[in-house]
Chains A and B, each alone.
Chain A
């Protein structure tokens, strides 16, 4: 792990946001791209009136490019907005600000019909394979739903052939098509979920904690499957997980989220071994490795305190309440992603030069609670 650069002594005023590099990769390579993406939920008081008393910034100004054919790993602590971001990219939750572009079209303005067409090109694999399959529908019915919805295969026979093809693709015996989900193990169900997501021949797949609820040995089976499919089908994958080792294993690039914002992104090897943002460093240093000799000597960066509530995001750099390096500009300037470290690596931290949008100074450090 490299040392961080010296703190800039005199703190320069933040530069205007327009100077911030807008794109992370050449535009033609990009399949999905978010700019200033926001998903804010109203926080409601209890009681009969349920007045909105505040706003919860689940996703708060995310800039992210996902390249065609790559696997982008998305990591971050629980509640930092990974799932919400993944859902917002597919408009399964409505963004409250910013834009999402899919293959050149702005999807934030799409009407219902266009949106459903988009859903054919972008699939989702869910965390809990026990909850994500309708218990009253057979595997065949589940997997052929996208085919029916989008009129992809007319006629029973063609659909049956396609279902068999898809089941084989994910490593299931097509003979099991007429069984119900409860007759399968977790790993098998997750395969069914993947087959469903692939039925519409999507270009883009969001895997939200797709291996989290599986056994270790079965996790490896599903990880291998995802990698194989990605290569075989040229899929673009957003792999959301809190398991950094798994993310490191499958990803070409890794994006790190903290409190609703992508704070570092770059090639997996660079982010994984030479992180430039203090939060990423702390996160990676906390991952235990299954080698006793390495594990005993592992240097851990201890973070104090909890993740602040997304309903009370600290001003300036949102990591400053826990950052061991926080210094003068951190509460005043909201850091923007800037190129640092390896080619293609971006991090949002003033230690690499104060870049970002100046903010009004907030009252005082927001207590980490809720």
Chain B
């Protein structure tokens, strides 16, 4: 390299030549910017707060719950909502509010674990298939197709049959079902980004494949994956419900929202609150995940960022 250090810039740099926009932004860590902007997006902010409350509830379940979830009080059975039992009681006289609170822990844990597994494995497969193409793509995606061809419930049942019931295994079963979904979404998005000029530009300065993948391809391919994540979280909570209903997920008497919904179904015209409150909990959580996902996708896009930062406050 003949690399002499670069000489001094020209005496009067042409910096002012092109009227640089003058909205100076103080440099802030990116995650804080993201949080600030999320907070400014009203829908996302509300959704985030509600989710945070739900998560806190799940974490401190035993401390918050008015009674033990499995405390049977036959004399109080099928009470409608009242001051003593805000959500009412079930056919065994158990407090529904307490069961919903404890169910949150089970449902959310299964949902998060399942989606995390599907996201990590699926996105990795999609990334490799989309970026390297050719035989890597063929092999990985054929495998995903096969996985996808199995009916979801059958696949989950098979996994649970092999590994036995339990929260962890339920999550694994649901996660495996979602791996091909994430693989496909990621691959499609990566295919679009892979040929972008800035990826080639980055390669032209010597960036390694790993760097290209993690710094350029993945971030730019992320928006559809984020959306898919929030959708999948919602479906995972529902899937857990379905498996519990089939007796493969959470085992009674332990509560999960899905299981409670399933059990309450039989009493729907007799005592609506049995199914209603766990149903509402699922609905609210799913809605919040989706809203937060949308907000996050917008906030992570620098093009939208400036617009929002400009108009917000």
Contacts and interface: CB of A to CB of B under 8 A. Distances in A.
Nearest to A198: B6
B215 interface: yes
Interface string B184-226: 0000000000001111111111111001000110011000000
B10 interface: yes
B24 to A, nearest CB: 7
A234 B18 contact: no
A304 interface: no
B196 to A, nearest CB: 7
B203 A137 contact: no
A168 interface: yes
Contacts of B2: 203, 234
A196 interface: yes
A134 B220 contact: yes
A273 B149 CA distance: 68
A120 B21 contact: no
A248 B148 CA distance: 59
A228 interface: yes
A135 B306 CA distance: 12
A187 B207 contact: no
B219 A136 contact: yes
A176 B197 CA distance: 23
Given A146-B205, A188-B18, A200-B206, A135 B220 contact: yes
A219 interface: no
B219 A173 contact: no
B204 A221 contact: no
A131 interface: yes
A134 B219 CA distance: 10
Interface residues of B, number: 43
B306 A182 contact: yes
A94 interface: no
B207 A149 contact: yes
Given A121-B1, A188-B20, A233-B6, A135 B303 contact: yes
B6 A119 contact: no
A303 B308 CA distance: 54
Interface stretch (A71-79, A122-130, A264-272, A347-355): A122-130
A145 B201 CA distance: 11
Contacts of B17: 171, 221
Interface string A172-201: 110110111011110110000100111111
A121 B208 CA distance: 16
Interface string A98-133: 000000000000000000111111011010100111
Interface in B214-263: 215-216, 219-220
A213 B242 CA distance: 56
Given A149-B206, A149-B211, A165-B9, A203 B15 contact: no
Q: Which of A90, A134, A187, A188 has the most CB of B within 10 A?
A: A134
A117 B9 contact: no
A133 B199 CA distance: 8
A150 interface: yes
A232 interface: yes
B206 A124 contact: no
B306 A196 contact: no
A197 B201 CA distance: 9
A120 B208 CA distance: 13
Contacts of A135: 198, 220, 301-303
Contacts of B216: 134, 137
B32 interface: no
Interface in A219-277: 221, 225, 228, 232-234
A340 interface: no
B311 interface: no
28 contacts: A117-B206, A119-B203, A126-B197, A126-B201, A128-B197, A131-B196, A132-B198, A132-B201, A133-B198, A133-B201, A136-B301, A137-B219, A145-B205, A145-B207, A145-B215, A146-B205, A149-B206, A149-B207, A165-B9, A171-B14, A171-B17, A172-B15, A173-B15, A188-B18, A188-B20, A197-B204, A201-B3, A225-B14
Interface of A: 90, 92, 116-121, 123-124, 126, 128, 131-137, 145-146, 149-150, 165-166, 168-169, 171-173, 175-176, 178-180, 182-185, 187-188, 193, 196-201, 203, 218, 221, 225, 228, 232-234
8 closest pairs, A vs B, by CB?
A: A119-B206, A171-B14, A180-B302, A131-B197, A173-B15, A168-B9, A146-B205, A116-B206
Given A132-B200, A134-B216, 11 more contacts: A123-B204, A137-B215, A149-B205, A150-B206, A165-B6, A171-B15, A173-B16, A180-B302, A182-B306, A196-B205, A232-B10
